[in-house]
Structure 1
Amino acid sequence: MNETPIKVGISGLGRSGWGLHVAALGRVQGLFEITAVFDPDPVRQQEARAQLGCRAYGSYAELLADSDIELMVVASPSPHHADDTIAALEAGKHVLVEKPMATTLADIDRMIEAAEKNGRLLTVNQNYRYAADFLKIKEVVASGVLGDLLLIRLAQHQFRRRWDWQTLTEFGGGILNNHGAHYVDWALALIDDPEPELLAHLVDTPLYAGDADSHAKVILRPKTGPLVDIELTHACAFPQQTAVIMGTQGTLSSTREEVRWKYYKPDE
Protein backbone atom coordinates (compact mmCIF):
# COMPACT_ATOMS: atom_id res chain seq x y z
CA MET A 1 0.00 0.00 0.00
CA ASN A 2 1.19 3.48 -0.80
CA GLU A 3 2.46 5.02 2.46
CA THR A 4 1.64 8.52 1.23
CA PRO A 5 -1.93 8.81 -0.10
CA ILE A 6 -2.37 10.50 -3.47
CA LYS A 7 -3.97 13.89 -2.88
CA VAL A 8 -7.13 14.28 -4.96
CA GLY A 9 -9.15 17.28 -6.08
CA ILE A 10 -12.70 16.86 -7.39
CA SER A 11 -14.31 19.31 -9.81
CA GLY A 12 -18.09 19.04 -9.61
CA LEU A 13 -20.12 17.49 -6.78
CA GLY A 14 -23.14 16.30 -8.71
CA ARG A 15 -24.32 12.75 -9.36
CA SER A 16 -20.90 11.56 -10.52
CA GLY A 17 -18.61 13.71 -8.39
CA TRP A 18 -20.39 13.17 -5.08
CA GLY A 19 -22.37 10.00 -5.69
CA LEU A 20 -19.65 8.00 -7.45
CA HIS A 21 -16.18 9.43 -6.98
CA VAL A 22 -16.43 10.57 -3.36
CA ALA A 23 -17.97 7.21 -2.47
CA ALA A 24 -15.34 5.22 -4.40
CA LEU A 25 -12.43 7.13 -2.90
CA GLY A 26 -13.88 6.50 0.54
CA ARG A 27 -13.59 2.75 -0.07
CA VAL A 28 -9.83 2.93 -0.72
CA GLN A 29 -8.70 4.99 2.23
CA GLY A 30 -4.95 4.99 2.61
CA LEU A 31 -4.42 5.10 -1.15
CA PHE A 32 -6.16 8.39 -1.88
CA GLU A 33 -7.04 11.47 0.14
CA ILE A 34 -9.67 14.01 -0.93
CA THR A 35 -7.79 17.24 -0.39
CA ALA A 36 -10.09 19.81 -2.00
CA VAL A 37 -13.23 20.11 -4.10
CA PHE A 38 -14.95 22.67 -6.29
CA ASP A 39 -18.66 23.23 -6.74
CA PRO A 40 -20.50 26.51 -7.42
CA ASP A 41 -23.24 25.57 -4.95
CA PRO A 42 -22.44 26.92 -1.43
CA VAL A 43 -24.54 24.14 0.12
CA ARG A 44 -22.41 21.49 -1.58
CA GLN A 45 -19.27 23.29 -0.45
CA GLN A 46 -20.43 23.23 3.16
CA GLU A 47 -21.41 19.55 2.93
CA ALA A 48 -17.93 18.73 1.64
CA ARG A 49 -16.21 20.61 4.45
CA ALA A 50 -18.41 18.96 7.06
CA GLN A 51 -18.46 15.39 5.73
CA LEU A 52 -15.09 15.09 4.01
CA GLY A 53 -13.00 17.45 6.10
CA CYS A 54 -11.46 18.96 2.98
CA ARG A 55 -11.10 22.40 1.47
CA ALA A 56 -14.03 23.49 -0.70
CA TYR A 57 -13.78 26.22 -3.33
CA GLY A 58 -16.39 28.24 -5.17
CA SER A 59 -14.36 28.51 -8.38
CA TYR A 60 -12.40 26.06 -10.49
CA ALA A 61 -9.48 28.50 -10.67
CA GLU A 62 -9.08 28.26 -6.89
CA LEU A 63 -9.06 24.47 -7.09
CA LEU A 64 -6.42 24.52 -9.84
CA ALA A 65 -4.26 26.83 -7.73
CA ASP A 66 -4.21 24.36 -4.82
CA SER A 67 -0.64 23.08 -5.01
CA ASP A 68 -1.34 20.05 -2.80
CA ILE A 69 -3.51 18.37 -5.44
CA GLU A 70 -1.76 15.65 -7.44
CA LEU A 71 -4.76 14.06 -9.18
CA MET A 72 -7.77 15.98 -10.48
CA VAL A 73 -11.11 14.22 -10.95
CA VAL A 74 -13.08 16.16 -13.57
CA ALA A 75 -16.77 15.46 -12.94
CA SER A 76 -18.20 18.66 -14.38
CA PRO A 77 -20.92 18.63 -17.09
CA SER A 78 -19.73 17.07 -20.36
CA PRO A 79 -19.22 20.32 -22.35
CA HIS A 80 -16.67 21.44 -19.73
CA HIS A 81 -14.62 18.24 -19.74
CA ALA A 82 -12.11 19.34 -22.37
CA ASP A 83 -11.29 22.80 -21.03
CA ASP A 84 -11.33 21.67 -17.39
CA THR A 85 -9.04 18.74 -18.17
CA ILE A 86 -6.59 20.81 -20.20
CA ALA A 87 -6.44 23.46 -17.46
CA ALA A 88 -5.68 20.80 -14.85
CA LEU A 89 -2.97 19.21 -16.99
CA GLU A 90 -1.37 22.61 -17.57
CA ALA A 91 -1.48 23.19 -13.80
CA GLY A 92 0.61 20.05 -13.33
CA LYS A 93 -2.15 17.69 -12.20
CA HIS A 94 -2.78 14.17 -13.40
CA VAL A 95 -6.42 13.82 -14.54
CA LEU A 96 -9.23 11.29 -14.33
CA VAL A 97 -12.08 12.68 -16.44
CA GLU A 98 -15.62 11.37 -16.25
CA LYS A 99 -17.11 9.81 -19.39
CA PRO A 100 -17.87 10.82 -22.04
CA MET A 101 -14.33 12.10 -22.39
CA ALA A 102 -15.53 15.15 -24.36
CA THR A 103 -18.28 16.15 -26.78
CA THR A 104 -16.13 16.31 -29.94
CA LEU A 105 -13.19 14.38 -31.35
CA ALA A 106 -11.28 17.64 -31.79
CA ASP A 107 -11.56 18.31 -28.05
CA ILE A 108 -10.35 14.80 -27.26
CA ASP A 109 -7.29 15.37 -29.45
CA ARG A 110 -6.60 18.63 -27.58
CA MET A 111 -6.80 16.82 -24.24
CA ILE A 112 -4.38 14.10 -25.33
CA GLU A 113 -1.98 16.68 -26.72
CA ALA A 114 -2.07 18.62 -23.43
CA ALA A 115 -1.30 15.46 -21.43
CA GLU A 116 1.68 14.64 -23.64
CA LYS A 117 2.95 18.23 -23.65
CA ASN A 118 2.81 18.51 -19.85
CA GLY A 119 4.01 14.99 -19.07
CA ARG A 120 0.90 14.15 -17.05
CA LEU A 121 -1.30 11.06 -16.97
CA LEU A 122 -4.79 11.34 -18.47
CA THR A 123 -7.43 8.63 -18.25
CA VAL A 124 -11.20 8.32 -18.62
CA ASN A 125 -13.51 6.84 -16.00
CA GLN A 126 -14.61 3.84 -18.06
CA ASN A 127 -15.47 1.96 -14.87
CA TYR A 128 -17.68 -0.63 -16.60
CA ARG A 129 -14.50 -1.93 -18.22
CA TYR A 130 -13.55 -3.43 -14.85
CA ALA A 131 -17.00 -4.67 -13.84
CA ALA A 132 -17.14 -8.30 -12.71
CA ASP A 133 -19.68 -9.32 -15.36
CA PHE A 134 -17.65 -7.86 -18.22
CA LEU A 135 -14.40 -9.39 -16.99
CA LYS A 136 -16.11 -12.80 -17.04
CA ILE A 137 -17.59 -12.10 -20.50
CA LYS A 138 -14.12 -11.30 -21.85
CA GLU A 139 -12.73 -14.43 -20.22
CA VAL A 140 -15.34 -16.69 -21.82
CA VAL A 141 -14.94 -15.09 -25.25
CA ALA A 142 -11.14 -15.33 -25.07
CA SER A 143 -11.33 -19.01 -24.13
CA GLY A 144 -12.77 -19.80 -27.57
CA VAL A 145 -15.51 -22.10 -26.25
CA LEU A 146 -18.18 -20.14 -28.15
CA GLY A 147 -16.39 -20.72 -31.45
CA ASP A 148 -16.33 -18.03 -34.12
CA LEU A 149 -18.49 -15.14 -32.95
CA LEU A 150 -21.51 -14.28 -35.12
CA LEU A 151 -23.38 -11.63 -33.12
CA ILE A 152 -22.75 -9.49 -30.04
CA ARG A 153 -25.89 -7.91 -28.62
CA LEU A 154 -25.47 -5.39 -25.78
CA ALA A 155 -28.29 -3.53 -24.05
CA GLN A 156 -29.13 -1.20 -21.23
CA HIS A 157 -32.87 -1.28 -20.65
CA GLN A 158 -34.51 0.90 -18.03
CA PHE A 159 -37.93 2.43 -17.48
CA ARG A 160 -37.44 5.92 -16.12
CA ARG A 161 -37.95 9.65 -16.61
CA ARG A 162 -35.28 12.34 -16.32
CA TRP A 163 -35.31 16.13 -16.23
CA ASP A 164 -31.71 17.06 -15.39
CA TRP A 165 -29.01 18.65 -17.60
CA GLN A 166 -28.25 15.28 -19.21
CA THR A 167 -31.57 15.51 -21.05
CA LEU A 168 -30.39 18.59 -22.98
CA THR A 169 -28.35 18.42 -26.19
CA GLU A 170 -26.71 21.79 -25.46
CA PHE A 171 -24.96 20.13 -22.51
CA GLY A 172 -24.01 16.97 -24.41
CA GLY A 173 -26.86 14.99 -22.88
CA GLY A 174 -28.70 11.95 -24.17
CA ILE A 175 -28.69 8.25 -23.47
CA LEU A 176 -26.06 7.52 -26.13
CA ASN A 177 -23.51 9.90 -24.62
CA ASN A 178 -24.38 8.98 -21.05
CA HIS A 179 -24.75 5.19 -21.21
CA GLY A 180 -23.47 4.41 -24.70
CA ALA A 181 -19.93 5.31 -23.65
CA HIS A 182 -19.88 2.12 -21.57
CA TYR A 183 -21.32 -0.27 -24.12
CA VAL A 184 -19.43 1.03 -27.14
CA ASP A 185 -16.32 0.60 -24.99
CA TRP A 186 -17.34 -3.01 -24.28
CA ALA A 187 -17.97 -3.65 -27.96
CA LEU A 188 -14.58 -2.33 -29.06
CA ALA A 189 -12.91 -4.56 -26.48
CA LEU A 190 -14.66 -7.63 -27.90
CA ILE A 191 -14.03 -7.07 -31.62
CA ASP A 192 -10.76 -6.85 -33.49
CA ASP A 193 -11.42 -3.53 -35.22
CA PRO A 194 -10.91 -0.10 -33.60
CA GLU A 195 -12.82 1.67 -36.41
CA PRO A 196 -15.87 -0.42 -37.40
CA GLU A 197 -18.55 0.91 -39.70
CA LEU A 198 -21.14 2.74 -37.60
CA LEU A 199 -24.90 2.94 -38.03
CA ALA A 200 -26.92 4.78 -35.38
CA HIS A 201 -30.53 5.75 -34.80
CA LEU A 202 -31.38 8.22 -32.01
CA VAL A 203 -34.92 8.93 -30.85
CA ASP A 204 -36.06 11.97 -28.86
CA THR A 205 -39.11 10.81 -26.92
CA PRO A 206 -41.37 12.36 -24.24
CA LEU A 207 -39.46 10.28 -21.67
CA TYR A 208 -37.19 13.28 -21.11
CA ALA A 209 -38.07 16.84 -20.23
CA GLY A 210 -35.28 17.99 -22.55
CA ASP A 211 -34.54 17.48 -26.24
CA ALA A 212 -31.83 14.80 -26.00
CA ASP A 213 -32.20 11.18 -27.09
CA SER A 214 -33.73 8.71 -24.63
CA HIS A 215 -33.68 5.71 -27.00
CA ALA A 216 -30.77 4.71 -29.21
CA LYS A 217 -29.87 1.83 -31.51
CA VAL A 218 -26.27 1.44 -32.66
CA ILE A 219 -24.92 -1.15 -35.10
CA LEU A 220 -21.18 -1.68 -35.42
CA ARG A 221 -19.96 -3.68 -38.41
CA PRO A 222 -16.26 -4.58 -38.22
CA LYS A 223 -14.21 -5.54 -41.26
CA THR A 224 -14.12 -9.10 -39.94
CA GLY A 225 -15.87 -10.75 -37.04
CA PRO A 226 -19.30 -10.42 -35.46
CA LEU A 227 -21.91 -7.76 -36.00
CA VAL A 228 -22.52 -5.69 -32.84
CA ASP A 229 -26.04 -4.58 -31.89
CA ILE A 230 -26.27 -2.02 -29.05
CA GLU A 231 -29.63 -0.89 -27.69
CA LEU A 232 -30.05 1.79 -25.03
CA THR A 233 -33.45 2.87 -23.80
CA HIS A 234 -35.42 4.32 -20.91
CA ALA A 235 -38.64 2.94 -22.38
CA CYS A 236 -38.35 -0.74 -21.43
CA ALA A 237 -40.26 -1.87 -18.34
CA PHE A 238 -39.14 -5.48 -18.86
CA PRO A 239 -35.34 -5.36 -19.15
CA GLN A 240 -33.67 -8.03 -21.23
CA GLN A 241 -30.17 -9.43 -20.98
CA THR A 242 -27.27 -7.00 -20.82
CA ALA A 243 -25.25 -9.16 -23.20
CA VAL A 244 -26.01 -11.99 -25.62
CA ILE A 245 -23.10 -13.35 -27.64
CA MET A 246 -23.73 -16.01 -30.27
CA GLY A 247 -21.00 -18.16 -31.72
CA THR A 248 -20.67 -21.22 -33.94
CA GLN A 249 -20.24 -23.47 -30.88
CA GLY A 250 -22.24 -21.78 -28.14
CA THR A 251 -24.00 -18.78 -26.66
CA LEU A 252 -23.37 -16.48 -23.70
CA SER A 253 -26.20 -14.69 -21.92
CA SER A 254 -25.69 -12.26 -19.05
CA THR A 255 -27.26 -9.68 -16.79
CA ARG A 256 -25.27 -7.36 -14.53
CA GLU A 257 -25.63 -9.99 -11.78
CA GLU A 258 -25.14 -13.28 -13.65
CA VAL A 259 -23.19 -14.60 -16.63
CA ARG A 260 -24.22 -17.93 -18.20
CA TRP A 261 -22.91 -19.72 -21.25
CA LYS A 262 -23.69 -22.98 -23.03
CA TYR A 263 -21.51 -24.62 -25.68
CA TYR A 264 -20.61 -27.91 -27.26
CA LYS A 265 -17.22 -29.42 -28.00
CA PRO A 266 -17.08 -30.41 -31.68
CA ASP A 267 -14.52 -33.14 -31.03
CA GLU A 268 -16.67 -34.96 -28.49
Structure 2
Amino acid sequence: MPTEPRVDERPRAATVPETYQETLRRLRAAQKPAGRGAPAYSVYVNRRLGRFIAAAAYRAGLTPNQVTAISATLTFAAVLLLALVPPTFWLGLAVTVLLAAGYAFDSADGQLARLRGGGSAAGEWLDHVVDAIKSSTLHAAVLITAYRFLVPTDQRTWLLVPLGFMAVAAVSFSVFLLNDLLKAARAGRDTTSVIRTGSTPLRSLAGAPTDYGVLVFVFLLLGAPAAFAVVYTLLFAAHLGYLLLALPKWFRDMRALDPAA
Protein backbone atom coordinates (compact mmCIF):
# COMPACT_ATOMS: atom_id res chain seq x y z
CA MET A 1 0.00 0.00 0.00
CA PRO A 2 1.22 3.54 -0.62
CA THR A 3 2.97 5.12 2.28
CA GLU A 4 2.12 8.55 3.59
CA PRO A 5 4.75 11.19 2.83
CA ARG A 6 6.96 11.68 5.81
CA VAL A 7 7.12 15.04 7.49
CA ASP A 8 10.56 16.50 7.94
CA GLU A 9 10.84 16.67 11.70
CA ARG A 10 14.23 18.37 11.75
CA PRO A 11 14.13 21.80 13.40
CA ARG A 12 14.16 24.62 10.87
CA ALA A 13 16.49 27.57 11.23
CA ALA A 14 14.61 30.61 12.49
CA THR A 15 14.40 33.49 10.07
CA VAL A 16 16.08 36.46 11.71
CA PRO A 17 14.44 39.72 10.62
CA GLU A 18 16.66 42.40 9.16
CA THR A 19 17.48 45.15 11.63
CA TYR A 20 16.94 48.84 10.89
CA GLN A 21 20.70 49.39 10.66
CA GLU A 22 21.04 46.49 8.20
CA THR A 23 18.28 47.99 6.07
CA LEU A 24 20.12 51.32 6.12
CA ARG A 25 23.37 49.67 5.05
CA ARG A 26 21.64 47.84 2.21
CA LEU A 27 19.99 51.05 1.06
CA ARG A 28 23.28 52.96 1.24
CA ALA A 29 24.90 50.35 -0.98
CA ALA A 30 22.09 50.70 -3.54
CA GLN A 31 22.26 54.51 -3.57
CA LYS A 32 22.66 55.97 -7.05
CA PRO A 33 25.11 58.85 -7.63
CA ALA A 34 23.92 62.42 -7.22
CA GLY A 35 23.28 64.45 -10.34
CA ARG A 36 26.14 66.46 -11.76
CA GLY A 37 26.07 69.77 -9.89
CA ALA A 38 23.27 68.64 -7.56
CA PRO A 39 23.04 71.31 -4.82
CA ALA A 40 24.43 70.74 -1.36
CA TYR A 41 21.30 70.49 0.82
CA SER A 42 19.67 68.02 -1.55
CA VAL A 43 22.78 65.82 -1.66
CA TYR A 44 24.18 65.96 1.87
CA VAL A 45 21.09 66.56 4.02
CA ASN A 46 17.86 65.70 2.23
CA ARG A 47 19.10 62.47 0.68
CA ARG A 48 20.29 61.25 4.09
CA LEU A 49 16.96 62.15 5.72
CA GLY A 50 15.22 60.33 2.90
CA ARG A 51 17.34 57.26 3.52
CA PHE A 52 16.26 57.10 7.18
CA ILE A 53 12.62 57.51 6.15
CA ALA A 54 12.90 54.92 3.36
CA ALA A 55 14.37 52.33 5.74
CA ALA A 56 11.60 52.93 8.27
CA ALA A 57 8.93 52.82 5.55
CA TYR A 58 10.36 49.56 4.22
CA ARG A 59 10.16 47.94 7.63
CA ALA A 60 6.62 49.29 8.10
CA GLY A 61 5.52 47.72 4.81
CA LEU A 62 4.72 51.00 3.04
CA THR A 63 4.85 51.24 -0.74
CA PRO A 64 6.71 53.98 -2.67
CA ASN A 65 3.36 55.45 -3.82
CA GLN A 66 2.21 55.73 -0.20
CA VAL A 67 5.42 57.58 0.67
CA THR A 68 4.82 59.89 -2.32
CA ALA A 69 1.30 60.54 -1.00
CA ILE A 70 2.71 61.48 2.42
CA SER A 71 5.17 63.84 0.73
CA ALA A 72 2.36 65.48 -1.25
CA THR A 73 0.16 65.84 1.85
CA LEU A 74 2.92 67.57 3.85
CA THR A 75 3.91 69.85 0.97
CA PHE A 76 0.43 70.95 -0.02
CA ALA A 77 -0.56 71.51 3.61
CA ALA A 78 2.31 74.02 3.73
CA VAL A 79 1.18 75.61 0.45
CA LEU A 80 -2.38 76.05 1.76
CA LEU A 81 -1.18 77.54 5.05
CA LEU A 82 1.06 79.95 3.16
CA ALA A 83 -1.77 81.12 0.91
CA LEU A 84 -4.52 81.38 3.53
CA VAL A 85 -3.00 82.37 6.89
CA PRO A 86 -1.60 85.82 7.73
CA PRO A 87 2.22 85.61 7.85
CA THR A 88 3.91 85.41 11.25
CA PHE A 89 7.07 83.82 12.57
CA TRP A 90 5.10 80.79 13.72
CA LEU A 91 3.47 80.39 10.33
CA GLY A 92 6.90 80.59 8.71
CA LEU A 93 8.20 77.89 11.07
CA ALA A 94 5.22 75.61 10.32
CA VAL A 95 5.56 76.11 6.56
CA THR A 96 9.29 75.43 6.68
CA VAL A 97 8.93 72.25 8.74
CA LEU A 98 6.16 70.90 6.49
CA LEU A 99 8.04 71.70 3.28
CA ALA A 100 11.30 70.21 4.59
CA ALA A 101 9.50 67.06 5.73
CA GLY A 102 7.70 66.80 2.40
CA TYR A 103 11.02 67.14 0.58
CA ALA A 104 12.58 64.39 2.70
CA PHE A 105 9.68 62.04 1.92
CA ASP A 106 10.07 63.00 -1.75
CA SER A 107 13.62 61.68 -1.59
CA ALA A 108 12.50 58.57 0.32
CA ASP A 109 10.01 57.23 -2.24
CA GLY A 110 12.67 56.52 -4.88
CA GLN A 111 15.03 55.03 -2.32
CA LEU A 112 12.25 52.80 -1.01
CA ALA A 113 11.54 51.65 -4.58
CA ARG A 114 15.18 50.57 -4.93
CA LEU A 115 14.97 48.69 -1.63
CA ARG A 116 11.94 46.82 -2.94
CA GLY A 117 13.73 45.83 -6.14
CA GLY A 118 13.00 48.72 -8.48
CA GLY A 119 10.35 51.31 -9.25
CA SER A 120 7.43 51.28 -11.66
CA ALA A 121 6.46 53.59 -14.51
CA ALA A 122 3.28 54.55 -12.64
CA GLY A 123 5.25 55.38 -9.50
CA GLU A 124 7.73 57.51 -11.43
CA TRP A 125 4.84 59.26 -13.17
CA LEU A 126 3.14 60.00 -9.84
CA ASP A 127 6.36 61.36 -8.34
CA HIS A 128 6.92 63.70 -11.29
CA VAL A 129 3.31 64.92 -11.26
CA VAL A 130 3.56 65.82 -7.57
CA ASP A 131 6.87 67.62 -8.22
CA ALA A 132 5.38 69.52 -11.16
CA ILE A 133 2.42 70.72 -9.08
CA LYS A 134 4.71 71.64 -6.18
CA SER A 135 7.13 73.63 -8.32
CA SER A 136 4.38 76.05 -9.40
CA THR A 137 1.87 76.13 -6.54
CA LEU A 138 4.48 77.09 -3.93
CA HIS A 139 5.24 80.33 -5.77
CA ALA A 140 1.54 80.86 -6.47
CA ALA A 141 1.02 80.73 -2.70
CA VAL A 142 3.76 83.35 -2.23
CA LEU A 143 1.99 85.52 -4.81
CA ILE A 144 -1.32 85.16 -2.95
CA THR A 145 0.06 85.88 0.52
CA ALA A 146 2.08 88.83 -0.80
CA TYR A 147 -1.02 90.30 -2.42
CA ARG A 148 -3.21 89.74 0.64
CA PHE A 149 -0.86 90.52 3.50
CA LEU A 150 2.68 91.63 2.64
CA VAL A 151 2.89 94.14 -0.21
CA PRO A 152 1.40 97.65 0.11
CA THR A 153 -0.78 98.86 -2.75
CA ASP A 154 1.89 101.25 -4.05
CA GLN A 155 4.49 98.43 -4.24
CA ARG A 156 2.45 95.86 -6.16
CA THR A 157 5.05 95.64 -8.91
CA TRP A 158 6.96 93.26 -6.58
CA LEU A 159 4.25 90.70 -7.31
CA LEU A 160 6.03 90.13 -10.62
CA VAL A 161 8.78 88.36 -8.63
CA PRO A 162 6.75 85.32 -7.46
CA LEU A 163 5.00 85.33 -10.85
CA GLY A 164 8.37 85.13 -12.58
CA PHE A 165 9.63 82.55 -10.07
CA MET A 166 6.62 80.38 -10.89
CA ALA A 167 7.47 80.52 -14.60
CA VAL A 168 11.16 79.79 -14.04
CA ALA A 169 10.34 76.84 -11.76
CA ALA A 170 7.93 75.34 -14.30
CA VAL A 171 10.36 75.76 -17.21
CA SER A 172 13.32 74.42 -15.22
CA PHE A 173 11.44 71.33 -14.09
CA SER A 174 10.20 70.63 -17.62
CA VAL A 175 13.67 71.01 -19.13
CA PHE A 176 15.37 68.83 -16.49
CA LEU A 177 12.84 66.10 -17.14
CA LEU A 178 13.07 66.48 -20.92
CA ASN A 179 16.87 66.26 -20.80
CA ASP A 180 16.68 62.89 -19.04
CA LEU A 181 13.95 61.58 -21.32
CA LEU A 182 15.82 62.46 -24.52
CA LYS A 183 19.11 61.07 -23.25
CA ALA A 184 17.37 57.86 -22.21
CA ALA A 185 15.58 57.59 -25.55
CA ARG A 186 18.80 58.02 -27.53
CA ALA A 187 20.59 55.50 -25.32
CA GLY A 188 17.74 52.99 -25.54
CA ARG A 189 17.18 52.90 -21.81
CA ASP A 190 14.32 53.64 -19.45
CA THR A 191 14.50 56.91 -17.51
CA THR A 192 15.33 55.22 -14.22
CA SER A 193 18.61 53.96 -15.71
CA VAL A 194 19.94 57.40 -16.59
CA ILE A 195 22.73 57.45 -14.04
CA ARG A 196 24.24 60.81 -13.23
CA THR A 197 27.91 61.39 -12.77
CA GLY A 198 28.64 62.10 -9.14
CA SER A 199 28.61 65.64 -7.86
CA THR A 200 31.60 67.20 -6.10
CA PRO A 201 31.29 69.23 -2.87
CA LEU A 202 32.48 72.41 -4.64
CA ARG A 203 29.98 72.01 -7.47
CA SER A 204 27.23 71.27 -4.95
CA LEU A 205 27.99 74.41 -2.95
CA ALA A 206 28.03 76.49 -6.13
CA GLY A 207 24.52 75.29 -6.88
CA ALA A 208 23.23 76.10 -3.38
CA PRO A 209 21.26 79.23 -4.44
CA THR A 210 19.16 77.05 -6.77
CA ASP A 211 18.55 74.40 -4.12
CA TYR A 212 14.91 73.73 -3.22
CA GLY A 213 16.14 73.02 0.29
CA VAL A 214 17.47 76.59 0.56
CA LEU A 215 14.17 77.99 -0.71
CA VAL A 216 12.33 76.03 1.98
CA PHE A 217 14.20 77.78 4.78
CA VAL A 218 13.54 81.26 3.38
CA PHE A 219 10.00 80.92 4.75
CA LEU A 220 11.40 81.25 8.26
CA LEU A 221 11.54 84.98 7.39
CA LEU A 222 7.78 85.29 6.86
CA GLY A 223 7.49 87.17 10.15
CA ALA A 224 9.89 89.82 8.74
CA PRO A 225 8.26 90.73 5.39
CA ALA A 226 11.01 93.09 4.18
CA ALA A 227 13.76 90.53 4.79
CA PHE A 228 11.67 87.78 3.20
CA ALA A 229 11.07 89.90 0.08
CA VAL A 230 14.78 90.67 -0.32
CA VAL A 231 16.00 87.07 0.11
CA TYR A 232 13.20 85.63 -2.02
CA THR A 233 14.04 88.12 -4.79
CA LEU A 234 17.72 87.19 -4.65
CA LEU A 235 16.84 83.52 -4.95
CA PHE A 236 14.61 84.27 -7.92
CA ALA A 237 17.51 86.10 -9.58
CA ALA A 238 19.79 83.10 -8.92
CA HIS A 239 17.29 80.63 -10.38
CA LEU A 240 16.66 82.81 -13.43
CA GLY A 241 20.38 83.39 -14.02
CA TYR A 242 21.15 79.68 -13.71
CA LEU A 243 18.42 78.80 -16.20
CA LEU A 244 19.55 81.39 -18.75
CA LEU A 245 23.16 80.21 -18.49
CA ALA A 246 22.26 76.52 -18.63
CA LEU A 247 19.84 76.57 -21.58
CA PRO A 248 22.52 77.05 -24.29
CA LYS A 249 24.65 74.31 -22.73
CA TRP A 250 21.70 71.91 -22.58
CA PHE A 251 20.86 72.68 -26.21
CA ARG A 252 24.42 71.76 -27.21
CA ASP A 253 24.08 68.54 -25.21
CA MET A 254 20.91 67.67 -27.12
CA ARG A 255 22.54 68.41 -30.48
CA ALA A 256 25.38 66.09 -29.54
CA LEU A 257 22.86 63.24 -29.16
CA ASP A 258 21.88 63.50 -32.81
CA PRO A 259 24.29 61.62 -35.10
CA ALA A 260 23.29 63.92 -37.97
CA ALA A 261 24.73 66.86 -36.05
Provide the TM-score with structure 1 as the length reference.
Answer: 0.24
Greater RCO, 1 or 2 (C-alpha within 8 Å, sep 6+) = 2
**Structure richer in helix, relative to its length:** 2
- Compare CA radii of gyration and give the structure with the larger one: 2
Provide the TM-score with structure 2 as the length reference.
Answer: 0.25
